[in-house]
Chains A and B, each alone.
Chain A
Amino acid sequence: MNKKQKKMLFRIIIAIILLAVISFLPLEGYLRLAAYLVPYLVIGYDILKRAGKGIINRQVFDENFLMAVATVGAILLGEYQEGTAVMLFYQIGELFQSYAVGKSRRNISELMDIRPDYANMEKDGKLEQVDPDEVAIGSIIVIQPGEKVPIDGVVVEGNASLNTSALTGESAPREVHAGEEVISGCINMTGVLKVKTTKEFGESTVSKILELVENSSSRKSKSENFISKFARIYTPAVCYGAVALALLPPVVRMLALGLNPEWGVWVYRALTFLVISCPCALVISIPLSFFAGIGGASKEGILVKGSNYLETLSQTGIVVFDKTGTMTRGVFEVSGIHHNQLEEERILEYAALAERFSSHPISKSIKRAYGKEPDQSRVSEVEEIGGHGITAKIDGIPVALGNAKLMNSLHIEYKECHHVGTVVHLAIDGAYAGHILISDVIKPTAKAAIQALKKAGVSKTVMLTGDAKSVAEQVAKELDISTVYSELLPADKVAKVEELLEAKTPKKRLAFVGDGINDAPVLSRADIGIAMGALGSDAAIEAADVVLMDDDPLKIAKAIRIARKCMRIVYENIYFAIGVKLVCLLLGALGIANMWLAIFADVGVMVLAVLNAIRALFVRKL
């Protein structure tokens, strides 16, 4: 609690004690009024003051005014206890609200607390802490265990495992070695790293992300705009309603029906009306729900750039994917070894040995799959035949490794591969030994991701790719994607998305998921653009509306579920708060509801709505 809140708590306690004492005192008449005025003023003086200032500044209709009129009116009617109690409960509600908002504000900013406070620079053999803003590109900074990486850069010395969970929500640590890039915002968990910076602090990943997150709730959703408009119209409307309720029925009774006007009864009802009417529950709980939703999502490594996008995301009906880098890894890997006459490991070993000196991407992926450092001394007479492959002697045995052309030229019978990808045939001592299939690998979670999307109510999944038709269709079949368009140029992708936008019903939103590499135009054209694996890719962070920090496609469905939960809470609060208020207003006008019920309608609803809003923060298990 801050100072203001503590002071308020103190005032509330004093007022409660005073009220309790006074209600047991046998006071009559003006003495009783004077006694009740003490707790009333203790608890409500600031409200009265603000209401007065509001009138002077011609800002009449706000909740201070409502409360001041209602409580003063109640006291004038002789309902001293109720008048004071209404003020007391109103203040308790306000205190609770400010506490809850402050608490969630702190919680959420802690979640996003990735801002590094300093960078270590070596000077004369000693480490010195400097402001990250002052570190020039190309400087060497030192990151010790337990410290955050302050600026993007390349490791020049040292090994360490980095905790990226603050950025990606991913708990598995990442190992880095000399020569590899590190991204600011990660936490160094083990060794000392020396890093040469490649960016200024302001351009580093951590700054970009912070900027994005801090501005996120400034883009307001339709529901938020609706609420602020609603509050602007609603409060004056209720005030006039209250005036009408206080004046019209007594006048009608008096003049038209010739009955006793019962001024007191109707004024009391009008005051009840005012107490019920306070729009706080709505005005606070809706932005709070969005804020909590966005905060919870960013904890999971899903950055949503604004409440409006959260709203759109929740209505997603069609998801369009880019293939390479989104559903597949975008790197070539050994995905199979077929027709092998030897053990797979032996095939790989021979291939890796033969490719020992090659830097071709294909040979790199073979060496990666082999995993061990090939023993150079076993290889001799290596000959690279451009466009064909390699021949060499391994342990003195002639080995040929290459495509079908190489096999043909050596008159070795080979087997065609019916899978899609690049095929590398291997012949040992003139005999066919099998082939290695190298292809872009589908991400392990891709299939589950599509299923999760379907489960989340996405009716149509579409894949766009520049790749050959056979590759595209195989991937689509494997992943169970309903529609696929292949052999597209980047411009065709925009056209396809526009076609799809045209064909869909307006209620279903179209989301495009890409890795941000040359699909920025599509990202911005779709109803909602989702960039994935965006760590370090500025273009993607700029162009997309939702940024997935790691490249796990399962997060797409998760983002939609988070958005749905958040919107459900928003609507619950809207319907609940307006509903309860309307019912209570009606009951108040009919004279069934008294001021105690009115207090529940005001403070109780607000407390419940705020508690409900905070639920949007809990998204881990979604």
Chain B
Amino acid sequence: MKKTYKIDVDCANCANKMEEAAKKTAGVKDAVVNFMTLKMIVEFEDGKDPKAVMQDVLKNCKKVEDDCEIFL
């Protein structure tokens, strides 16, 4: 399942870091962060609850880039 989230982040490199962090989160099959449209597209592994996974994604993103936001 794929879902798109609106994000807020200031720099392109930070967006890359968010993408890395989201990809490494458990339950996430693949993630793409688009800095230009400020969107994060997350593909979840089968049977995972997107809401729970996104909380972890947000936590991991905050870890690598303090100044970011994902609008869940």
Q: Which chain A residues have a beta carbon within 8 Å of chain B's beta carbons?
A: 4, 50, 53-54, 57, 59, 62-63, 94, 97-98, 101, 105, 108-109, 214-215, 217-218, 220, 228, 231-232, 279-280, 283-284, 287-288, 291
Expressed in whole angstroms, the minimum distance between the Cβ of A55 and any Cβ of chain B is: 12
Expressed in whole angstroms, the minimum distance between the Cβ of A161 and any Cβ of chain B is: 33
Residue in B11, B41, B67 whose beta carbon sits within 8 Å of that of A218 in the complex: B41
Expressed in whole angstroms, the minimum distance between the Cβ of B2 and any Cβ of chain A is: 10
Query: Does B64 reach chain A (CB closer than 8 Å)?
Result: yes
Interface residues of A: mostly helix, strand, loop or mixed? helix
10 further A-B pairs in the complex, CB-CB below 8 A; given A62-B17, A291-B37? A4-B10, A50-B67, A54-B66, A57-B66, A62-B13, A215-B41, A217-B34, A217-B36, A283-B16, A284-B13
Determine whether the beta carbon of B63 is less than 8 Å from that of A59.
Answer: yes
Determine whether the beta carbon of A94 is less than 8 Å from that of B36.
Answer: no
Chain A residues, CB < 8 A from B11: 63, 94, 97-98, 280, 283-284
Residue in A105, A220, A283 whose beta carbon sits within 8 Å of that of B37 in the complex: A105
CA A109 to CA B12, docked complex, whole Å: 18
Chain B residue nearest in CB terms to A104: B36
Q: Which chain B residues have a beta carbon within 8 Å of chain A's beta carbons?
A: 10-13, 16-17, 32, 34-39, 41, 63-67
Q: A50-B67, A218-B32 are in contact. Are A63 and B13 (CB under 8 A)?
A: yes
Residue in B16, B41, B67 whose beta carbon sits within 8 Å of that of A228 in the complex: B16
Chain A residues, CB < 8 A from B38: 105
Determine whether the beta carbon of B41 is less than 8 Å from that of A280.
Answer: no
Expressed in whole angstroms, the minimum distance between the Cβ of A618 and any Cβ of chain B is: 17
CA A171 to CA B49, docked complex, whole Å: 47
Residue in A54, A215, A232, A284 whose beta carbon sits within 8 Å of that of B12 in the complex: A284
CA A4 to CA B63, docked complex, whole Å: 21
17 pairs of residues in contact across A and B, judged by CB atoms under 8 Å? A57-B64, A62-B17, A63-B11, A63-B13, A94-B10, A94-B11, A97-B11, A98-B11, A214-B37, A214-B39, A218-B34, A218-B37, A220-B32, A231-B13, A280-B13, A283-B16, A284-B13
Residue in A53, A63, A232 whose beta carbon sits within 8 Å of that of B66 in the complex: A53
Chain B residues, CB < 8 A from A288: 12, 36
CA A109 to CA B35, docked complex, whole Å: 14
CA A4 to CA B11, docked complex, whole Å: 13
Q: A287-B35, A288-B36 are in contact. Are A59 and B16 (CB under 8 A)?
A: no
Chain A residues, CB < 8 A from B64: 57, 59
Residue in B10, B17, B37 whose beta carbon sits within 8 Å of that of A59 in the complex: B17
Determine whether the beta carbon of B37 is less than 8 Å from that of A287.
Answer: no
Chain B residues, CB < 8 A from A218: 32, 34, 37, 39, 41
CA A105 to CA B36, docked complex, whole Å: 6
CA A53 to CA B64, docked complex, whole Å: 9
Q: Which one of A108, A228, A231 has the greatest number of beta carbons of chain B within 10 Å?
A: A228
Determine whether the beta carbon of A283 is less than 8 Å from that of B12.
Answer: yes
Chain B residues, CB < 8 A from A101: 12, 35-36
Expressed in whole angstroms, the minimum distance between the Cβ of A473 and any Cβ of chain B is: 47
Expressed in whole angstroms, the minimum distance between the Cβ of B56 and any Cβ of chain A is: 15
Chain A residues, CB < 8 A from B37: 105, 109, 214, 217-218, 291
Chain A residues, CB < 8 A from B10: 4, 94, 98
Chain B residues, CB < 8 A from A231: 13, 16
Residue in A62, A97, A291 whose beta carbon sits within 8 Å of that of B36 in the complex: A291
CA A280 to CA B38, docked complex, whole Å: 18
CA A215 to CA B39, docked complex, whole Å: 9
Chain B residues, CB < 8 A from A108: 36
Expressed in whole angstroms, the minimum distance between the Cβ of A270 and any Cβ of chain B is: 22
Chain A residues, CB < 8 A from B17: 59, 62
Chain B residues, CB < 8 A from A215: 41
CA A215 to CA B3, docked complex, whole Å: 12
CA A251 to CA B11, docked complex, whole Å: 38
Expressed in whole angstroms, the minimum distance between the Cβ of A61 and any Cβ of chain B is: 11
Chain B residues, CB < 8 A from A59: 17, 63-65
Chain A residue nearest in CB terms to B66: A53
Chain B residues, CB < 8 A from A4: 10
Q: A105-B36, A105-B37, A287-B36 are in contact. Are A57 and B63 (CB under 8 A)?
A: yes
Residue in A54, A109, A217, A279 whose beta carbon sits within 8 Å of that of B13 in the complex: A279
Expressed in whole angstroms, the minimum distance between the Cβ of A577 and any Cβ of chain B is: 13
Chain A residue nearest in CB terms to B35: A287
Determine whether the beta carbon of B13 is less than 8 Å from that of A283.
Answer: yes
CA A52 to CA B64, docked complex, whole Å: 12
Expressed in whole angstroms, the minimum distance between the Cβ of A606 and any Cβ of chain B is: 11
Expressed in whole angstroms, the minimum distance between the Cβ of B10 and any Cβ of chain A is: 6
CA A275 to CA B52, docked complex, whole Å: 40
Chain B residues, CB < 8 A from A57: 63-64, 66
CA A194 to CA B18, docked complex, whole Å: 48
Chain A residues, CB < 8 A from B63: 57, 59
CA A467 to CA B11, docked complex, whole Å: 54
**A-B residue pairs, 8 tightest by C-beta:** A291-B36, A284-B12, A283-B13, A283-B12, A218-B32, A218-B34, A228-B16, A57-B63
